[in-house]
Chains A and B, each alone.
Chain A
Amino acid sequence: MKIKLIILASIAVLASIFLIKYFVSSSQKSKAGENDVTVVVNPVSGTKNLDEFDITYVISSDDQNKKINGVNMTFTANNNLQIISLSQIPKTYPSADDIFTAANEPTINAAKTSLNFAYLTLRPQSELTNSIFFKIRVKGNASGAGTLTLSRVSTEITGILNTTSVLFGISSTSNTDPSFTFNSGSTAPVINFKFDPVTTTVGANIDSAIAVFKIDGLPTGKGLTTFEAIFSFDKNVAEAVNITPSDTVVDKFTEVHKTIDNNIGSIKLTYLAKQVEGMALANNARFDITFKRKSTLTAISTTNTSIDASTATGDITGTNYQINKTNGQLVIHPRTTSSSSSSSRQSSSSSSTVSSSSSSRQSSSSSAARSSSSSSSAARSSSSSSRQSSSAGPTPIVLIKMKLRFQGILTKPYDMTPQNVKINVVKEGESNTGFVETSFDPNYDGTYKGIIDVNPVDYNAKYYIYIKGPKHLQKKFCDALPQLNAQGFYNCSKANISLHEGENDFDFSNIKLLAGDLPEQENMQNGIIDSYDLSFIRSSIANATYSDTCDINLDEKCDWQDWSLMLASMAEKYDE
């Protein structure tokens, strides 16, 4: 009997245990359903080019009492999809308050197929919300399908329900695995973020130099809506002291960041297009960044001005341009002790003038560095001046700033691309044998401005300046401010241009550079307008094909206006 009772008691205990377990289990199941949150993904599917784009994840609950205070998430990219970055860390939704800090920094594996990150906040419950969002930037790396999968097993979404800490689950109805089909064909256009020229030198006799950063290479008719560039340089070698945006940037963009941090050696430029109705987007940007040597520098040092991060958006299909980066290089010489004597050699210039002109000097030498023949130009200018021939020491800087007008461009051109112009400064009595090629930037009145340096210069001599545009006949200028005669022509024979140390400003914009000598093979012009040039324009118009070459007036069309301009230029036909 006792044995029977023991057996029955055991069975009862076991049954109770099973029942208790069953009730506990069922209780937990219902609780898990109650503590689920919804994850909404956008876009969740679609056809994409092989470009980068963001996927937005919104984690939310209908219950205002459910407050989210942390996420730990793992994503896996499959097939033809790559993970680029966590492009936006978790923030409250929709107010986008930045309340989360990284518990585990975003980590992407080398194959770019997995991403893990964890963010949490210690803010009080009153500052938490029931919805948060973050963005993951991805990219198709080949045509075909690709998906981004959220690992639900490893995912933790934590929060507070009433006053209790909760581990939220993800509702079964949430589609957390966006899937895409990638096209092989088109990709976002590639544009240039570049230092041009690549190398900028702070010489021994000067204090600073200007590195020129440019954005260009946009497709015809396309513009920039936003851009951001972050640079780094060696803070022990140089410091950035000034950033000057070009007129185009000032006119067409709103500055968000233009910051220099010399403590870490970093520069950040962020701009948004103004996008005023009726105003075309800019298709280029330029910044002159003045670098100064560190006073502690004792030996020649070289540092890269690296373009670390960069983005640019525009009026293109997809979100971002692809960016081709060309980093810059700073070569910095230690200051020489003979600098005081060099200042005294620079005639009447005060020390402050010398200092201010030193930056523009570098700017021009930069432009000269782009030229293949600046040295020959210098060599042609002889050295008859006694100041030139006197021993070693810094060479005085002579800058020539010019304003030009191209035929057919009377107001701001639609195509604001800078134009390459060939310049030759020829001493009276010498022959015109070469040129310096430099870039001229458009102004809003249809004129173009550019700068070159010439060295050495005979200050007692008179000079001619020969100018040849990219599709134009060469024009000879003998005067600093040439004017048309009563018949509407300007032709000169006697040199009347004097050069002095520092900047020499010449306004040649009263005289149009006649268009018509189009570049042929290897971008060479032959110095005349001939049947090829005329036939090229004619065929472009007749066949309705556009090319930069036939667009004389830079209105991004090849039409009868370009034809008329060419015919008008036939009055001259030859380079002067």
Chain B
Amino acid sequence: MEPNTEVQTNKPSPMVIVGGGLILVLLVVFFILMRKPGTNQKIENTQNNQQAVVPTAKPTVARFGKLDISTSTANVTDGQDVIVVISGDSMGKEIVGYDSLIVYDKSALTLQSAKSAIVDFTIFKFDRPSHLSLTAVKNLNSKTPTVLNKTPMVELVFKAVKPGTFSIVLQSDIDKESTKMVDEKTNILYPNLSSVMITVK
């Protein structure tokens, strides 16, 4: 008799089974309901992106060549000029234009000038709230090939206005802009980038 009693004691009652089943069903329904709005939101977001004037997503691209930022004035005193040079390596490609995004602490460094180190290029500089944007293009009449091989491209002059250690970074993307080079066949090349540290005493 005892074994029978034990069996009957361990066996869950029909109410428990029905209750457990109901809980399971409710859980499934709950997850479905929780999941649906998320899915819809995703679709709406996708549609909005398609309708936007400017695509927000930028495809990942392979890096080609390099833009290197360097300085001979890494240690300066407050009020002195900091001279920074951006050099390029286009790995054999002839370059006719480029964009550079330079991020720096605007409270510590003030941009004084931005000049092209390549005679045949014209630079347009845009002092944006968060960065400096440079767009350069080779002059229309220039016939000289411009293959970059650690070639200085831009000379930037900042004035140090605050003590501390600050970085000047070549940034790959900011909002709609990107750092890139364009070759003579208008292929866009996204170069490897670097940064430099400045100490102001």
**A residues engaging B (CB < 8 A)?**
372-373, 376, 422, 424, 432-435, 466, 468, 474, 524-532, 534-536, 538-539, 541-542, 560, 563, 567, 570, 573-575
Q: For residue A468, which residues in chain B have a CB less than 8 angstroms away from its CB?
A: 53
Top-5 shortest CB links A-B: A531-B97, A535-B97, A434-B51, A534-B137, A527-B54
Beyond A376-B48, A541-B140, A573-B124, is A531–B182 a contact (Cβ under 8 Å)? yes
* Distance of B153 from chain A, by nearest CB (Å): 12
B47 lies within 8 A of A532 (CB): no
Whether B180 is near chain A, meaning CB under 8 Å from some CB there, is: yes
Q: In the docked arrangement, what's the CA distance between A337 and B48, Å?
A: 38
Q: Which of B14-22, B32-40, B184-192 contacts A (4 or more CB under 8 A)?
A: B184-192
Bound CA–CA A532/B180 (angstroms)? 9
Residues of chain B lying within 8 A (CB to CB) of residue A532: 97, 180, 182, 186, 188
B67 within 8 A of A: no
Between B122, B184, B185, B186, the greatest number of chain A beta carbons within 10 A of the residue's beta carbon is seen for B186
CA distance A535 to B95 in the complex (A): 9
Q: Which of A434, A529, A567, A573 contacts B52 (CB 8 A)?
A: A434
Q: List 29 A-B contacts (CB under 8 A).
A: A373-B51, A376-B48, A424-B53, A432-B53, A434-B48, A434-B53, A525-B54, A529-B135, A530-B99, A530-B135, A531-B181, A531-B182, A532-B97, A532-B180, A534-B97, A534-B135, A534-B137, A535-B96, A535-B97, A535-B138, A535-B182, A538-B97, A538-B140, A539-B96, A539-B185, A563-B140, A567-B122, A574-B126, A575-B53
CB proximity of A34 to chain B, nearest CB, Å: 76
In whole angstroms, how far apart are the Cα atoms of A234 and B50 in the complex? 38
Please state if B55 and A524 are interface contacts (CB–CB under 8 Å). Answer: yes
Instruction: Return chain B residues, CB-CB under 8 Å to A542.
Output: 140
In whole angstroms, how far apart are the Cα atoms of A420 and B124 in the complex? 29
A468 CA to B52 CA in the complex, in Å? 12
Whether B51 lies near A376 (C-beta < 8 A) is: yes
A563 to B141 Cα, complex, angstroms: 11
> A531 vs B51: C-alpha distance in the bound complex, in angstroms?
25
Residue from A424, A527, A534 with most neighbouring chain B CB atoms (10 Å): A534
Among residues of A, the one whose C-beta sits closest to the C-beta of B185 is A539
Q: A572: shortest Cβ distance to chain B, in Å?
A: 10
B50-68 to A contact mask, C-beta < 8 Å, 1/0 = 1111110000000000000
Task: Say how far B61's CB is from chain A's closest CB, in angstroms.
Answer: 12
* Chain B residues with a Cβ under 8 A of chain A: 47-48, 50-55, 96-99, 122, 124, 126, 133, 135-138, 140, 176-178, 180-182, 184-186, 188
Give the CA-CA distance A526 to B53 in the complex, in Å: 8
Q: Which of B48, B98, B140, B176 touches A526 (beta carbons < 8 Å)? A: B176
Pair A535/B54 contact, Cβ less than 8 Å: no
- Nearest-CB distance from A460 to chain B (Å)? 26
Which of A376, A538, A573 contacts B137, CB < 8 Å? A538
- Give the shortest distance, in Å, between B40 (CB) and chain A (any CB): 15
B-side contacts of A529, CB under 8 Å: 135
In the bound complex, how far is the Cα of B105 from the Cα of A271, in angstroms? Answer: 67
Q: Which residues of B contact A534 (CB under 8 A)?
A: 97, 135, 137
What's the nearest-Cβ distance from chain A to residue B59, in Å?
10
B43 CB to nearest A CB, Å: 13
Cα separation A542 to B182 with both chains bound (whole Å)? 15
Contacts of B51 in A (CB 8 A): 372-373, 376, 433-435
Chain A residues in 8 Å Cβ range of B97: 531-532, 534-535, 538
In the complex formed, the residue of B with least CB distance to A572 is B126
In the assembled complex, the CB of A539 is this many whole angstroms from the nearest CB of chain B, namely 5
Question: With A531-B180, A575-B53 given, can you name 4 additional A-B contacts, CB distance below 8 Å?
Answer: A376-B47, A433-B51, A573-B135, A574-B176
The answer for the CA separation of A376 and B177 in the assembled complex, in Å, is 27
Q: How far apart are the CA atoms of A474 and B51 in the complex, in Å?
A: 15
A372 touches which of B50, B138, B177, B184 (Cβ 8 Å): B50
Q: Which residues of B contact A525 (CB under 8 A)?
A: 53-54
**Chain A hits for B188, CB < 8 A:** 532
Q: Are B53 and A573 in contact (CB under 8 A)?
A: no
Are A528 and B176 in touch, CB under 8 angstroms?
A: yes
Residues of chain B within 8 A (CB-CB) of A536 are: 186
B136 to chain A, nearest CB (A): 7
A324–B57 Cα distance when bound, in Å, is 36
CB atoms of B186 and A573 under 8 A apart: no
Decide if A535 touches B53 in the complex (CB within 8 Å): no
Q: Is the Cβ of B140 less than 8 Å from the Cβ of A560?
A: yes
Complex formed: what's the CA distance from A542 to B185 in Å?
11
Residues from chain B with a CB closer than 8 A to the CB of A424 are 53
CA distance A527 to B178 in the complex (A): 12
Cross-chain contact B98 with A531 (CB below 8 angstroms): yes
Contacts of A376 in B (CB 8 A): 47-48, 51
Set A528, A530, A538: member contacting B138, Cβ < 8 A = A538
A539: chain B residues at CB < 8 Å are 96, 184-186
Cβ contact within 8 Å between A433 and B137: no
Residues of chain B within 8 A of A434, CB atoms compared = 48, 51-53
CA distance A486 to B45 in the complex (A): 43
Q: Hey, which chain B residues are within 8 Å of A422, CB to CB?
A: 53
Distance between Cα atoms of A529 and B176 in the complex (Å): 10
- B179 → A minimal CB distance (Å): 10
Closest to A435 in B: B53
- Please name all residues of chain B whose beta carbon is closer than 8 Å to the beta carbon of A567 when the two chains form the complex: 122
- Do A531 and B136 touch (CB < 8 A)? yes
Contacts of A531 in B (CB 8 A): 97-99, 135-137, 180-182
* Other-chain contact of B124, A372, A474, A570 (Cβ < 8 Å): A570
How long is the Cα–Cα vector from A376 to B124 in the complex, in angstroms? 37
Q: How far is the CB of B182 from chain A (nearest CB, A)?
A: 4
Name the A residues within 8 Å of B177 (CB-CB).
Answer: 528, 530
Chain A nearest Cβ from B133, distance in angstroms: 8
How distant is the Cα of A574 from the Cα of B53 in the complex, in angstroms?
13
A531 to B138, CA, bound (A): 10
Q: With a CB–CB cut-off of 8 A, which chain B residues contact A574? A: 126, 176
Decide yes or no: A527 and B53 within 8 Å by CB, A534-B135, A535-B137, A560-B140 being known contacts: yes
Assess whether A527 is in contact with B176, with CB atoms less than 8 Å apart. Answer: yes
A526 B124 Cβ-Cβ under 8 A: no
A573-B52 Cα distance, complex, nearest whole Å: 19
Is B52 a contact of A433 with CB atoms below 8 Å? Answer: yes
